Amino acid sequence: MAFSCAILDAYLSILQSNKILAYSSLLFASIGLVKYVFFGLKLTNLFLQLFILSGKSLKKYGAGKGAWALVTGASDGIGKEFSLQLGKAGFNIVLVSRTESKLVDLSSEINGKYGVETKVLPVDFAENKSSDYAALAALIEPLDVTVLVNNVGQSHSIPVPFAEVDDTELTRIITINDLATLKVTKLVIPKLIAKKKGLILTMGSFGGLFPTPYLSVYSGSKSFLQHWSSALAAELKPKGVDVELVLSYLVTSAMSKVRKASTFIPNPKTFVASTLSSIGLQRGAQGRPATSTPHWSHAIFQFFVENTVGIWSDFVSNQNLQMHIAIRKRALKKAEREKKAL
């Protein structure tokens, strides 16, 4: 004890005789305190947004009052669930996806369960046809569309080095994930501005949040949507329109190729419910404008990584690289086995 006090006395004596050291110590201590305070506030805000606070009510956007929601990629997985849950909330639904038969079946299901109106339009966004966008514009022209869910998306068939990405796959990913999203949004925005209310939800991904080797085109396409959504949100907020990029880790779906739900991999029903109940809350995306990570397990995972190793760290990139190399090896072995079985 006496030894510790002697060290402290010696340190204080040095500080008194060296003003530069004293001020430097005070500065670094203050910076450390501020960082701890901000971290505590972020952690508190995360907890409140995940388990206490409620998001904006869908009634703000006309639920149950004849308003329409447009959902792209509506026939399967997350898009189908958005369509069902928005229909249950009282929205009429415009269903847009590639397979007409699935859209017709979903339309009948929504009509039967919730008694709302539906309209369907089969579109293969990869083809980027002007006639398809003209047909969509004509379809929604008389409708009171107040909600847009940009859900359509595509990833690589299997993880692949960029140098080996097929040109057709590269073009499809960028066309579907980015160009189609921008074009559909541009068609809908004038209606939202005219009403001075509206909601635009665009599906992002942890594949875009973290630089993801072997899924580089998909990763880049989703990262693009982050910046675009943030910029668009700033433009449209004064006009009464809310814009939100929705981040997710894995969800059971055909695209993720994951079939079994778990704590960190919810099914589409659970994921969409968490999204629609937390509109306006960042949850795991603390500090990211116009962005939400709605599912609690994804939110905690993102918060942990961002506040420890960091999303841009070599560690994260290398972990992603090794994981997707392993996935690619398994996929190639499976394809080889199936080929031999023919």
**Which residues carry out catalysis?**
218, 222
- CB distance 88 to 110 below 8 Å: no
Interatomic CA distance for residues 224 and 170, integer angstroms: 15
Structure token digits, residue 300: 């905690």
Interatomic CA distance for residues 239 and 193, integer angstroms: 6
3-state secondary structure (DSSP) of residue 98: coil
- CB distance 200 to 192 below 8 Å: yes
Interior CA angle at 131 toward 233 and 176, to 5°?
A: 45
The secondary structure of 39-69 as a DSSP string is HHHHHHHHHHHHHT-----GGGGTTTTT-EE
Interatomic CA distance for residues 75 and 68, integer angstroms: 17
Helices and strands counted in the chain (H then E): 12, 7
Residues in Cβ contact with 53 at an 8 Å cutoff, skipping those fewer than 6 apart: 281
C-alpha distance from residue 326 to each of 171, 173, 320 (Å): 25, 22, 10
